[in-house]
Each structure stands twice: as C-alpha cells, then as structure tokens.
Homo-oligomer: A and B are copies of this chain.
C-alpha cells in the first residue's frame, strides 16, 4: 500500500540536517507492506504545511508527518492539524499526564514550553512516546489517516516500531508485508557482490529480489519475497550466497560487527582485551556499547604515546626505537602486553597513522598494523587505508573486530578485503 510522508523543519530546508528519518520510516514500513510513494519537505511555515497536507490527504489513504512536535515556538504540527481539521487546540489529558510524568522523572517542573506539548487538536488522539517528552498525534482528515511523529530519531524509532505501525496495520489490514532478510557484510563492496551473484548464481529466481544498502563499515544485502510460500526458495538463495561470499557475512538483521564478536566471546566463554593506538578507544567503545559486554571484556589500553606503550603494556623501548610504533614488532608486543596485564585470553592490538599529519615515506598516512589472536598464537598484518582520519578510524576498528571474528570462527587467514576479483 502506498503512503506519503510530510517532513517539516527549517533545519531540513537549510541543509543543516541531513534527513535520515524518512529513510528510517521507509525501511521500517516497507517490510510491513507500506511503501512511501511521495515525500514532501517544508520549513516551519504553517500555511505551507496545511496546503501540502490538503494535497497529500487527497492523494493517499495514510500520511506520516515527521517533526514539529517539540516544545518551541517553531514547532507547528499540532496547530497545523487543528487548522486543517477545523478544530481547536485543547489540553489533551493523556498528553498532559505524559508531559507531567516525563518532567517528574527528571525532577523538573513542567514549564510553559513543556505544557505546550499537551495542547492537541480536540479531534486527535495521542501516539505514545516511550522516549521523549513529545507525544505523537493521530487524526483523520479527508478520509486519510494522519500520524504525526517527532523529529528526534530515537523518539521516532521507538514510536514507529510501536503505535505507528500498529495503527497502520489496524486501519489497513490488507497491506501485505514483504518478507525481508537482511545480511550484514564486511570487506566486500556492492559491485563485487553483484558480480558474484551474476557469475556464481546464474539461475537466481525472480521471486527473490536482491537489494543493497551501502553503509560504513557494513554493507547490507536484502533478500525480499512477497509471499511466505517462497521462504524455502529464499533459504536456497541464502545458501548460494553463503557458498560464494559467506566469509564476508558478519551477521543478519540488527547484528553489528561488535555484537557479533561479543556473542562469539560469550559462546566461547573467552575474555577480550585491547591495545589501541590510532583507533584511540573506538574498538573499546564499540565493544562496550553492547549490553552484556562486561562478561567478556576486561580492559582496554589506549596507548597513544610511546611512553605508555612501554610503561603500561611493557613494550620494549628498543623495539620502539628500532622499528617505530607502527610496526609488526611493536603491535605484537602491544598485544602480548595487553594479554599479560589483563589476564584475558584474546586480544586486538592496533597501531597506525590516522593522519592528517604524522605520515612518513615508509609509513604514509593510512598505514596500520593490526595484531590479533590469543595465547595459542598471535597473527599480524599490515593494511593501508588512506581515507581520511574519521573514516580510517571507523574502517580500522571494524577490520580489527572482523579479524578477531574470523579467528573466533576458526580462520586466521587474512582475506582480500575489498579486493575480490571476478572468478
């Protein structure tokens, strides 16, 4: 079923904010059978908002409005809905309870701005916001269902998955969900995937639609079917993918690289430690972002200076002098030192040149040595990703985690990351 989106907010018009909400909405709802066919974005201009809503409600049976529910004067959605529906803004008792409860939980007195969020069109009902202070608004106009959602992404996400979806489903029970399986890949690009499919899966059935979403560091590959009767076919296709590019598949659906590594460590009852130089704590941060990681994570040392590499990790200063900090010898000594200090049984150590300065002819910006493994042996490898500081740190963190993931699943070979050729 086709639906429309209306996004509001001056920050979307000025380009200050890149709109990722509409992508979130489209993806979340498409899997349930609601396709966004039309998207309009306007600033905080009430006449324009109302005019666009008149048009969209005449064209579609459901419109999702995003933004403009906050407490400030430029948050106009409630007022626009009242004008559109020819009703008054009144204090909505459910919304008032929500705002007061929200403020009380934070030990603050609801002020005028907070209380504005409880003023809703008299014909509207609320959509619960499990995260923030602004409730959503639901009403009908022109025989069209209007669902108004907050612009803050975390609040939108919570609301979408909850009452927005259930409201759409109860109003439009005939919308048929597509069945989507999402695989998360690291170390292979979209074109190499596409080539592998063409070369190695020549009889791919048209019932299983392949889609990609490029991301960093993970690439998402979607397998979509319209009917549950094709589930076995989709499973066959997935098996074909496993056979040809399975080593790059990190996980599925909500898996991240870190969640996959934490899960493997938990299964194997192993403890991880980290010695990070150029990634500066990002690997530790990714690991500890996973709930339950304290079971498997002991300690990480961010050893930015050579002095700390020697003092805390016990790296021999002669190695540092002889080979430099970005070397096989030093990164392996960092890994051993972290294992010794922490008592953990596996490790990732990273030392590289993130840039923009600090490069040399021998070790230009983008050079990185990674060591990984455990008491049964350490492995190390030199990589080169001259891609700018932030992206370098993102990619190298993922690289370290992926090498550990492969080690925990029994492979210590370094794959041809992003270098897969046609077979």
Contacts and interface: CB of A to CB of B under 8 A. Distances in A.
Interface of A: 10-20, 22-27, 30, 35-43, 45, 48, 55, 70-74, 106-109, 111-114, 131, 151-152, 154, 190-192, 194-195, 211-214, 216, 220, 222, 274, 276, 278-285, 287-289, 291-294, 297-305, 307-308, 311-312, 341-343, 354-358, 388-391, 393, 418-419, 421-422
A304 B312 contact: no
A341 B301 CA distance: 12
A302 B303 contact: no
Contacts of A358: 294
Contacts of A216: 154
A33 to B, nearest CB: 13
A304 B280 contact: no
Contacts of A357: 291-292
Nearest to A198: B112
A211 B390 contact: no
Contact of A72 (B20, B39, B191, B299): B191
A94 B152 CA distance: 47
Which residue of A39, A357, A390 has the most chain B CB atoms within 10 A of its CB atom?
A39
B211 A11 contact: yes
12 contacts: A41-B41, A152-B214, A274-B302, A280-B284, A281-B281, A281-B282, A281-B283, A281-B284, A281-B285, A285-B393, A294-B358, A299-B301
Contacts of A388: 131
B214 A389 contact: no
B304 A294 contact: yes
A330 B64 CA distance: 49
Given A30-B15, A152-B214, A303 B299 contact: yes
Nearest to A290: B389
Given A18-B19, A213-B16, A297 B288 contact: no
Contact of A71 (B111, B194, B285, B297): B194
A14 B23 CA distance: 7
Contacts of A43: 37
A108 B308 contact: no
B308 A299 contact: yes
Contact of A45 (B15, B27, B37, B390): B37
Nearest to A20: B18
Given A191-B72, A191-B114, A280-B287, A48 B38 contact: yes
A192 B114 CA distance: 9
